[in-house]
C-alpha cells in the first residue's frame, strides 16, 4: 500500500487500528507519504512528512512499535526524549503517543504483536524482553545494529513495492519475519542486560552441532531457519552460533543458507513441472532475489537461470 496526501489527518488515518491525531504546527502546504507492507504478524511501514507535526493518541494495545529515522530535518522528540538519526523509537502498546515530528521527517518502522516479540526473545535469544529492553521511548542503540535494522526495513518495503511476487510464498514471508524479529531484539536489547550463558564445553559443542546436523538432514526438504533450530534444540542463538563457529568454523546462518541453496539447485534440476526461479527460491525462504542470485552464483559458479536439468540421454 502507498498513499500520498496533502492532509495530516489523512496520513494519520493510514495507520489502521491506531488511535492517533496529527496536528500541523507550521504554515505551508502539507505533503506526506505512507508506504506499508504486511507480513504474517508484522506491519512494516514508512512515513515521510515535510511539515512539523504533533502526534497524539495511544499506541495500539498489544503491539510494540519500533521506528528508525531515515532522515531527521530538525528537532523532534518522542515522550520527552530527542529523536536523533542514530536513535530508535520504541513504544509499547497502550502507552501515550506524545511526539513532535520535525520538518522533513522520514521514518521506517515495524509494528509487532508483543507476544510474538516476547516469544522470540525467550525461545530464540533466551532473554526476558521486558528486562533487557529499556522502557524509554527513544533508545540509543549500537549504530551497527541501528543501521542493520533500518536497512532491513527499507529492503522489505522495496521488495514489496517492486517485486511483490517474491513475498507470495509462505516460506519467504516466514523467513523474512524471523529475520526482522532477530534484528529488532538485537537492536533494542541493552548488551549488558542480556543473559550471558556460559560457553558449552568442547564435548557439548560437538554434541550440539551433531544434533543440529541430524535435525537438518531429517528436514532437508524444508526451508529451515535459525529460529527453527533454536526451538527444536532448546538452545539460544548465541550458543548455537558459538558451537558452530568452534566446531565447523562457519556460523549456522551461513551453514543453513548453504543447505537452502542446495535445495534450490536440486529443485531446479529435478524432473518436476517447470516453475520460475523466483518461485522456487521463495519456496526455500529466499525473499531478496538479487542477493539470492549473488549467493547462488558464488556457491555454484553460475546463475540459477543457467542451471539445467540433468540429461535424460542414456547413451
104 and 206 together in one domain: no
Query: Residue 221's pLDDT is what?
Result: 76
Please report whether residue 126 resides in a domain. Answer: yes
pLDDT at 315 over 70: no
* 283-296 average pLDDT score: 91
- The model's pTM is 0.84
pLDDT at 193 over 60: no
Q: How far is CA 194 from the centre of its chain?
A: 20
40 and 174 together in one domain: yes
* 10-22 average pLDDT score: 89
Domain end call among 180, 213, 235: 180
User: pLDDT category, 168, cuts 50, 70, 90?
Assistant: confident
Query: Residue 156's pLDDT is what?
Result: 95
Please report whether residue 187 resides in a domain. Answer: no
Domain assignment of residue 296, given as a range: 197-306
109 and 204 together in one domain: no
pLDDT at 310 over 80: no
Query: How many Å is the maximal CA-CA distance in the chain?
Result: 81
174 and 299 together in one domain: no
pLDDT at 29 over 80: yes
151 and 67 together in one domain: yes
pLDDT at 240 over 60: yes
202 and 176 together in one domain: no
* 30-45 average pLDDT score: 94
Domain end call among 180, 214, 230: 180
Query: Residue 8's pLDDT is what?
Result: 94
CA angle 293, 187, 287 (to 5 degrees): 20
CATH number of the structural domain spanning residue 149: 2.60.120.10
Please report whether residue 188 resides in a domain. Answer: no
113 and 241 together in one domain: no
pLDDT at 187 over 70: yes
Tell me the C-alpha distance between 219 and 244, whole Å. 18
Please report whether residue 277 resides in a domain. Answer: yes
Please report whether residue 186 resides in a domain. Answer: no
Query: Residue 167's pLDDT is what?
Result: 86
Please tell me which residue, 131 or 16, carries the higher pLDDT value. 131
User: pLDDT category, 16, cuts 50, 70, 90?
Assistant: confident
Q: How many CB atoms lie within 10 A of CB 243?
A: 25
140 and 238 together in one domain: no
pLDDT at 191 over 50: yes
Query: Residue 199's pLDDT is what?
Result: 72
Q: Tens digits of per-residue pLDDT, 48-63?
A: 999 999 999 998 899 9
21 phi and psi angles, rounded to 5 deg: -135, 135
Point out which residues pair with 297 in neighbouring strands. none
pLDDT at 45 over 90: yes
172 and 208 together in one domain: no
81 phi and psi angles, rounded to 5 deg: -110, 140
159 and 15 together in one domain: yes
* 95-122 average pLDDT score: 95
Query: Residue 312's pLDDT is what?
Result: 53
* 263-267 average pLDDT score: 90
pLDDT at 99 over 80: yes
Query: Residue 313's pLDDT is what?
Result: 44
221 and 270 together in one domain: yes
CATH number of the structural domain spanning residue 225: 1.10.10.60
Domain end call among 180, 214, 243: 180
Query: Residue 311's pLDDT is what?
Result: 60
155 and 93 together in one domain: yes
Please report whether residue 49 resides in a domain. Answer: yes
Q: Which of 20-24, 71-75, 266-270 has the lowest mean pLDDT?
A: 266-270
Point out which residues pair with 108 in neighbouring strands. 46, 68
Order of strands, edge to edge, in the sheet holding 63-72?
A: 2-5, 32-38, 43-49, 105-113, 63-72, 88-92, 138-139
Tell me the C-alpha distance between 118 and 181, whole Å. 10
57 phi and psi angles, rounded to 5 deg: 140, -150
pLDDT at 230 over 70: yes
The mean predicted confidence, pLDDT, of the chain is 89
Please tell me which residue, 78 or 313, carries the higher pLDDT value. 78
Per-residue b or e along 202-239, where b marks 16 or more CB atoms closer than 10 Å to that residue's CB: eeebeebbeebeeebeeeeeebbbbbbbbeeeebbbbb
Q: How many domains does the chain have?
A: 2
Please report whether residue 69 resides in a domain. Answer: yes
Query: Residue 304's pLDDT is what?
Result: 92
Q: For residue 172, which of 270, 97, 264 has the smallest C-alpha distance?
A: 264
Q: How would DSSP label each residue in the chain?
A: -EEEES-HHHHHHTSTT-EEEEEE-SSS---EEEEEEE-SS-EEEEEEESS-EEEEEEPPTTEEEEEEEEEE-S--EETTEE--TT-EEEEETT-EEEEEEPSSEEEEEEEEEHHHHHHHHHHTS-S-HHHHS-SSSEE---HHHHHHHHHHHHHHHHHHHH-GGGG-SHHHHHHHHHHHHHHHHHHHS-GGGS--PPPPPHHHHHHHHHHHHHHHHHTTTS---HHHHHHHHT--HHHHHHHHHHHHSS-HHHHHHHHHHHHHHHHHTSSSPP--HHHHHHHTT---HHHHHHHHHHHHSS-GGG--PPP----
Please report whether residue 315 resides in a domain. Answer: no
Amino acid at each position: 500500500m502507498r498513499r500520498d496526501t496533502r492532509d495530516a489527518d489523512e496520513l494519520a488515518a493510514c495507520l489502521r487500528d491506531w488511535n492517533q491525531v496529527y496536528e500541523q504546527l507550521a504554515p505551508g502546504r502539507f505533503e506526506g507519504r505512507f508506504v506499508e507492507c504486511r507480513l504474517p504478524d508484522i506491519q512494516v511501514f514508512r512515513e515521510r512528512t515535510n511539515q512539523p507535526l504533533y502526534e497524539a493518541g495511544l499506541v495500539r494495545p498489544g503491539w510494540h512499535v519500533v521506528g528508525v529515522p531515515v532522515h531527521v530535518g530538525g528537532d523532534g522528540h518522542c515522550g520527552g526524549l530527542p529523536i536523533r538519526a542514530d536513535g530508535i523509537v520504541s513504544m509499547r502498546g497502550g502507552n501515550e503517543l506524545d511526539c513532535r515530528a520535525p520538518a522533513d521527517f522520514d521514518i521506517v518502522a515495524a509494528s509487532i504483536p508483543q507476544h510474538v516479540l516476547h516469544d522470540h526473545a525467550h525461545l530464540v535469544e533466551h532473554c526476558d524482553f521486558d528486562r533487557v529492553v529499556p522502557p524509554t521511548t527513544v533508545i540509543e542503540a549500537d549504530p551497527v545494529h541501528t543501521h542493520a535494522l533500518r536497512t532491513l526495513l527499507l529492503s522489505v518495503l522495496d521488495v514489496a513495492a517492486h517485486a511483490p511476487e517474491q513475498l507470495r510464498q509462505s516460506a519467504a514471508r516466514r523467513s523474512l519475519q524471523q529475520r526482522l524479529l532477530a534484528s529488532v531484539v538485537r537492536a533494542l536489547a541493552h548488551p549488558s542486560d542480556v543473559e550471558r550463558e556460559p560457553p558449552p564445553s568442547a564435548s557439548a559443542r560437538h554434541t550440539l552441532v551433531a544434533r543440529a546436523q541430524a535435525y537438518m538432514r531429517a528436514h532437508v526438504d524444508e526451508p529451515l531457519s535459525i529460529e527453527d533450530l533454536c526451538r527444536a534444540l532448546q538452545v539460544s542463538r548465541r550458543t548455537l552460533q558459538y558451537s558452530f563457529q568452534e566446531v565447523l568454523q562457519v556460523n549456522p546462518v551461513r551453514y543453513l543458507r548453504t543447505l537452502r541453496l542446495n535445495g534450490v539447485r536440486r529443485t531446479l534440476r529435478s524432473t518436476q513441472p517447470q516453475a520460475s526461479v523466483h518461485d522456487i527460491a521463495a519456496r526455500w525462504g529466499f525473499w531478496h532475489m538479487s542477493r539470492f542470485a549473488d549467493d547462488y552464483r558464488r556457491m555454484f559458479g553460475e546463475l540459477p537461470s543457467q542451471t539445467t536439468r540433468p540429461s535424460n540421454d542414456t547413451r
